Structure 1
Amino acid sequence: MTVKPVRAELTPDSPLPEPLAGLGDAVDVQIRRAPADQGVELAVRLRDGAQSPVTAGARRLAGRDPNQAIRAALREAKQLLETGEVLHPDSPPTTRTTAVNKPLQMATRLGRREGRL
């Protein structure tokens, strides 16, 4: 993911933004200059290596897939570095849960993990 930090220069020696630092030792983070001096590239991958496709699918459905956490942390880190804050959808979207707005509430909750609604 390419990031254009506005406040401080992000280097391989600088501390990681909180969303990425929160992943701990489970991930390997690489920071390098983007081509044509267009910002900084952040690359994050699991240290454990490849996951079994069967268990990865089950974890994803249960909402415990580490790749979902990595994607969410990258999006939040990009927002922090570029704007200084992480934007969240309004909560609660309505004052009470109804049969009509229940799918929207679920999509909003799950969209933070997958990245798109």
Structure 2
Amino acid sequence: MVDWIGMDPYLFAKPGGYGFGDFSYLVNHTTNPARWPGFYSWVTKEHGNKPLMVAEWGVYEHTADPAQKAWIFSTVAQQIGRFPAIRALVYFDSPNAPKGDTRPDSSQPALREFKKLAESQTFDVTL
């Protein structure tokens, strides 16, 4: 029995490089929609009755421009409403992840945007 479907995507904060993009890119990236619609599109079509968890996600720091990681964090609250099947987000926080630093506080701009995200109405949950 499957109760939830999870995914663990990552982004790189270096513009123009592999894996750079916004929240939408994180959860639904595709290079060819005819061959692969993107994970979110696929899972909601094939398993639309299941909640989706972004069970592990992160953004690798681009030390030459810390504002890029902050920008990526700013897109989450702006775009998450486009993805109503996402019911949980779990951030992976490590200074030594395999491809770099994913900590939300790796720079002051990133920390500022991550705090805004955490405090947004999107996550105002009543139990």
Structure with greater Cα Rg: 1
Q: TM-score, normalised by structure 1?
A: 0.24
Q: TM-score, normalised by structure 2?
A: 0.23
Q: Where is the helix percentage greater, Structure 1 or Structure 2?
A: 1
